[in-house]
């Protein structure tokens, strides 16, 4: 079976760099190489002296040492550094799944979590979001009912894109217990981990609480460095990691040395980056609170506890792509239509960037001119 076109990336290819105001980006505020190097004394000199040869397929040892600090149980040999988040999702699925396997995917989802298993010939079950008022929930009884003797893997994403939902520690452990009973792999997309808005919402990486858990991390989202194209898999099952590493030798083989150097420097200073990015989020959220309170007859939203994105429900009848197209055309403001996630009547907003207030002003002008 062929892999379907990636709707989200197709949409961004068309609009991301051709729209003046973005109100839907899923990452945190980026920074220049100069500003990143300035976080560490001697950083610029070391960067200029960095060797431009091939790197270790698993990732530079120094970088893997820095990544281990994000987890409790992970050692350097439990890590495989990859290109962004897309490559490890693809490689894990290809390495572990076989035709006729059953997988369960937290839905809506980043499309590759669904499309790649489907292309392999797996039967994919969607663990669908439900709403209590405006609050998104994932019912654990529904998950339990989906699990069979053929279930090979459960794909999670927490904090969740696009709804902003985040599991509690208790919910996470219940899922682990369900998987452990049948030896099911849990692949957990944790690209927004460490960007919880308050400490009480922190939960461990799945790799720290489950022997068959695989944690996906990346420099793009919480740390705001998507240009580095550095991500990783953390897994304490060496057989799984080896299978993925063998396939990586058919894709990127190894990572760019300069990117690995910069990622290592960033992670040594990750608390500074997280503090900066959380400050931006906390400045932007009250603006959204006021906007949605003022226009509650038009829009409903759930204020997330983690991450820089939220899912907005439209309380009026209009074609979702048509609405987004109008906003782009009239105000040059980019929203992400719910149809990208097969969820009509919603759109995604992002609030992790410094220019979000400017985009919100433009969007409100559109609302006042066209919807009131």
* CATH of region 49-269, choose from 3.40.50.720, 3.40.50.150, 3.40.50.970, 3.40.640.10: 3.40.640.10
Query: Where do the structural domains in the chain lie, given as residue ranges?
Result: 7-32+271-370, 49-269
Other beta carbons within 10 angstroms of residue 94's beta carbon come to: 17
Rounded mean pLDDT, 220-235: 98
pLDDT reading at 163 higher than 80: yes
308 and 27 in contact (C-beta within 8 Å)?
yes
Torsions phi, psi of 369, nearest 5?
A: -75, -25
- H or E segment and range at residue 294: helix 270-294
Torsions phi, psi of 156, nearest 5?
A: -115, 160
> 137: which strand partners?
130
Tell me which DSSP letter residue 142 carries: H
In terms of CATH architecture, what is 7-32+271-370? Alpha-Beta Complex (3.90)
Rounded mean pLDDT, 321-339: 93
pTM for this one? 0.95
Torsions phi, psi of 178, nearest 5?
A: -65, -40
Task: Please provide the average confidence, as pLDDT, over all residues in the chain.
Answer: 96
% of residues, the chain, pLDDT over 70: 99
DSSP strand pairing (151-157 vs 185-189): parallel
pLDDT of residue 90: 97
192 and 159 in contact (C-beta within 8 Å)?
yes
pLDDT of residue 141: 97
Indicate the range of 4-8, 51-55, 169-173 predicted with least confidence. Answer: 4-8
% of residues, the chain, pLDDT over 90: 93
Nearest to 54 by CA among 262, 261, 257, 259: 257
Residue 1: pLDDT band (50, 70, 90) is low
Residue 320: pLDDT band (50, 70, 90) is low
Other beta carbons within 10 angstroms of residue 262's beta carbon come to: 23
Cα distances from 48 to residues 34, 41, 257, in angstroms, run 12, 14, 12
pLDDT reading at 43 higher than 90: yes
pLDDT of residue 317: 82
């Amino acid at each position: 079976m062929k892999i379907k076109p990636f709707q989200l990336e197709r949409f961004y290819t068309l609009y991301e760099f051709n729209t003046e105001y973005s109100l839907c980006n899923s990452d945190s505020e980026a920074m220049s190489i100069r500003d990143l190097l300035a976080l560490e004394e001697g950083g610029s000199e070391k960067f200029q002296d960095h060797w431009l040869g091939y790197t270790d397929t698993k990732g530079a040892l120094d970088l893997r040492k820095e990544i281990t600090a994000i987890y409790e149980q992970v050692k350097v040999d439990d890590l495989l550094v990859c290109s962004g988040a897309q490559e490890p999702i693809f490689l894990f699925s290809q390495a572990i799944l076989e035709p006729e396997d059953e997988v369960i995917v937290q839905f809506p989802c980043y499309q590759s979590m669904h499309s790649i298993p489907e292309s392999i010939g797996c039967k994919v079950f969607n663990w669908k979001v439900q709403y209590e008022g405006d609050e998104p929930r994932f019912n654990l009884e529904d998950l339990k009912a989906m699990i069979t003797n053929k279930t090979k893997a459960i794909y999670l994403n927490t904090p969740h894109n696009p709804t902003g939902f985040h599991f509690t520690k208790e919910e996470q452990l219940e899922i682990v217990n369900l998987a452990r009973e049948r030896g099911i792999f849990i692949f957990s997309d944790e690209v927004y981990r460490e960007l919880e808005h308050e400490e009480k919402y922190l939960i461990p990486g799945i790799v720290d609480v489950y022997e068959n858990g695989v944690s996906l991390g990346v420099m793009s989202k919480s740390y705001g460095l998507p240009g580095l194209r550095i991500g990783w898999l953390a897994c304490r099952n060496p057989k799984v990691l080896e299978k993925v590493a063998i396939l990586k030798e058919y894709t990127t083989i190894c990572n760019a040395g300069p990117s690995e150097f910069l990622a290592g420097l960033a992670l040594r200073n990750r608390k500074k980056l997280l503090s900066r990015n959380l400050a931006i989020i906390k400045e932007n959220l009250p603006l959204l609170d006021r906007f949605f309170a003022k226009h509650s007859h038009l829009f409903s939203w759930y204020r997330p506890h983690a991450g820089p994105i939220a899912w907005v429900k439209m309380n009026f009848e209009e074609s979702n792509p048509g609405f987004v197209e109008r906003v782009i055309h009239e105000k040059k403001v980019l929203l992400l239509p719910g149809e990208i996630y097969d969820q009509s009547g919603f759109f995604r907003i992002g609030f992790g960037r410094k220019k979000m207030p400017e985009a919100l002003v433009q969007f409100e002008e559109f609302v006042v001119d066209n919807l009131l």
